[in-house]
Structure 1
Amino acid sequence: MLWACILFPQLALDGVVRRHASPDEPLALIAGPAQRRVLRSVNEAARAQGLRAGQALAVAQAIGARFHAIDYAAADAQRWHDFLAAWAYRYGSLVSREWPSALLVEVEASFRLFGPWPRLEARLREDLRELGFRHRIVLAPHPWAARVLANVHDGLAVIDEQPLLRALASLPLSRCGLPADVTAGLVRMGLRNLGQVWALPRAGLGRRIGEAALDHLDRLRGTQATPLRYFQPADAFESRIEFNYEVSSSQSLLFPLRRLTADLATYLAGRDGGVQRFLLRFTHERGAATELPVGLLAAERDPAMLFEVARSRLEQLQLPAPVREMELLAHQLPPFVPAGRDLFDMRPQQAMPWEQLRERLRARLGDESVHGLAVRADHRPERAWQSASSDVQAMPSLPRPGWLLHQPIPLRDTSLRILAGPERIESGWWDGDVRRDYYVVETSQGQRAWAFRPPGEQGEFMLHGWFA
Structure 2
Amino acid sequence: MLWACILLPQLALDSILRERDDPDTPLVLIGGPAQRRVLQAVNPAAAALGLRAGLTLTAARALAYGFHCVEADPARIDHLQQLLAAWAYRFSAHVSLHYPRALLLEVGSSLQLFGPWPEFQARLREELAELGLRQRIVLATNPVAARMLANGHDGLALTCAEQTRTALARMPVERVGLPADAAQAFVRMGLRQLGQVLELPRDALARRFSAQVQLHLDQLLGLCTFGLDFYQPPDRFESRLELNFDVESHQALLFPLRRMLNDLGVFLAGRDCGVQRFYLYLEHAQGADTQLHVGLLAAERDPAMLLELARGRLEALRIRAPVRNLRLVADDLPAFVPQHQALFDPRAQQAQPWEQLRERLRARLGDDAVKGLRAGADHRPECAWQLAEQGAQGGLPALPGSRPGWLLPIPQALDATPHTVLGQAERIESGWWDGGDVRRDYYRIETRDGLRGWAYQDLAQPGPLWLQGWFA
TMscore range, shorter length: over 0.9
Aligned-residue offset at 1:166: 0.4
2:421 is the counterpart of 1:418:
yes
* Equivalent pair of 1:372/1:389 in contact (CA under 8 Å): yes
- Three-state SS of the structure 2 residue aligned to 1:108 is coil
Match of 1:131 in 2: 131
2:405 is the counterpart of 1:397:
no
Question: Which deviates more, 361-370 or 143-152?
Answer: 361-370
Match of 1:47 in 2: 47
Partners of 1:144 and 1:428 in 2: CA distance: 79
- Three-state SS of the structure 2 residue aligned to 1:397 is coil
Could you state the TM-score of these two structures normalised by the residue count of structure 1?
0.93
Aligned-residue offset at 1:325: 0.7
Partners of 1:111 and 1:143 in 2: CA distance: 17
Identity, % of aligned positions? 57
Partners of 1:285 and 1:414 in 2: CA distance: 66
Aligned-residue offset at 1:433: 6.2
2:291 is the counterpart of 1:291:
yes
Aligned-residue offset at 1:359: 2.3
| 1:195-344 equivalent positions in 2, closer than 5 A | 195-344=195-344
- Three-state SS of the structure 1 residue aligned to 2:456 is strand
- Three-state SS of the structure 1 residue aligned to 2:109 is helix
Runs of 5+ consecutive residues of structure 1 not aligned to the other structure = none
> Residues 446 and 157 from structure 1, CA distance in 2 versus in 1: closer, same or farther, beyond 3 angstroms?
closer
- Three-state SS of the structure 2 residue aligned to 1:52 is coil
Q: Map Cα deviations across residues 140-198 of structure 1 (whole Å, 9 max, x no partner).
A: 12111111111111111111111111011111111101111111122122111111111
Match of 2:89 in 1: 89
2:385 is the counterpart of 1:385:
yes
Q: Map Cα deviations across residues 201-231 of structure 1 (whole Å, 9 max, x no partner).
A: 1122123221122111111111111221110
- Three-state SS of the structure 2 residue aligned to 1:109 is coil
* Equivalent pair of 1:373/1:391 in contact (CA under 8 Å): no
* Equivalent pair of 1:424/1:455 in contact (CA under 8 Å): no
Q: Which residue identity is paired with 2:276? A: Q
Match of 1:449 in 2: 453
Runs of 5+ consecutive residues of structure 2 not aligned to the other structure = none
Q: Map Cα deviations across residues 408-447 of structure 1 (whole Å, 9 max, x no partner).
A: 4554369653324444556667656666543312246643
Match of 2:469 in 1: 465
Q: Which residue identity is paired with 1:39? A: L
Aligned-residue offset at 1:98: 0.9
2:103 is the counterpart of 1:99:
no
> Residues 421 and 84 from structure 1, CA distance in 2 versus in 1: closer, same or farther, beyond 3 angstroms?
farther
- Three-state SS of the structure 2 residue aligned to 1:167 is helix
* Equivalent pair of 2:401/2:471 in contact (CA under 8 Å): no
Match of 2:69 in 1: 69
Match of 2:116 in 1: 116
Question: Which deviates more, 359-368 or 11-20?
Answer: 359-368
Question: Which deviates more, 364-373 or 159-168?
Answer: 364-373
> Residues 387 and 180 from structure 1, CA distance in 2 versus in 1: closer, same or farther, beyond 3 angstroms?
farther
2:420 is the counterpart of 1:438:
no
Could you state the TM-score of these two structures normalised by the residue count of structure 2?
0.92
Q: Map Cα deviations across residues 228-276 of structure 1 (whole Å, 9 max, x no partner).
A: 1110111111112112321222211111111111111111111111112
Partners of 1:57 and 1:280 in 2: CA distance: 37
* Equivalent pair of 1:247/1:323 in contact (CA under 8 Å): yes
Match of 1:142 in 2: 142
Partners of 2:95 and 2:287 in 1: CA distance: 42
> Residues 322 and 158 from structure 1, CA distance in 2 versus in 1: closer, same or farther, beyond 3 angstroms?
same
Partners of 1:167 and 1:241 in 2: CA distance: 42
Aligned-residue offset at 1:28: 1.1
> Residues 120 and 378 from structure 1, CA distance in 2 versus in 1: closer, same or farther, beyond 3 angstroms?
farther
Partners of 2:353 and 2:442 in 1: CA distance: 37
Partners of 1:2 and 1:395 in 2: CA distance: 56
Q: CA RMSD in A?
A: 2.4
Partners of 1:377 and 1:193 in 2: CA distance: 84
Question: Which deviates more, 263-272 or 446-455?
Answer: 446-455
Q: Which residue identity is paired with 1:286? A: Q
Q: How many residues align?
A: 468
Q: Map Cα deviations across residues 47-89 of structure 1 (whole Å, 9 max, x no partner).
A: 1111111211111112233211111111111001001111111
* Equivalent pair of 2:370/2:390 in contact (CA under 8 Å): no
* Equivalent pair of 1:6/1:136 in contact (CA under 8 Å): yes
> Residues 376 and 37 from structure 1, CA distance in 2 versus in 1: closer, same or farther, beyond 3 angstroms?
farther
Partners of 2:224 and 2:437 in 1: CA distance: 82
2:179 is the counterpart of 1:179:
yes
> Residues 177 and 455 from structure 1, CA distance in 2 versus in 1: closer, same or farther, beyond 3 angstroms?
farther
2:23 is the counterpart of 1:23:
yes
Q: Which residue identity is paired with 1:464? A: Q
* Equivalent pair of 2:50/2:64 in contact (CA under 8 Å): no
Q: Map Cα deviations across residues 118-150 of structure 1 (whole Å, 9 max, x no partner).
A: 111111010011110000111112111111111
- Three-state SS of the structure 2 residue aligned to 1:104 is strand
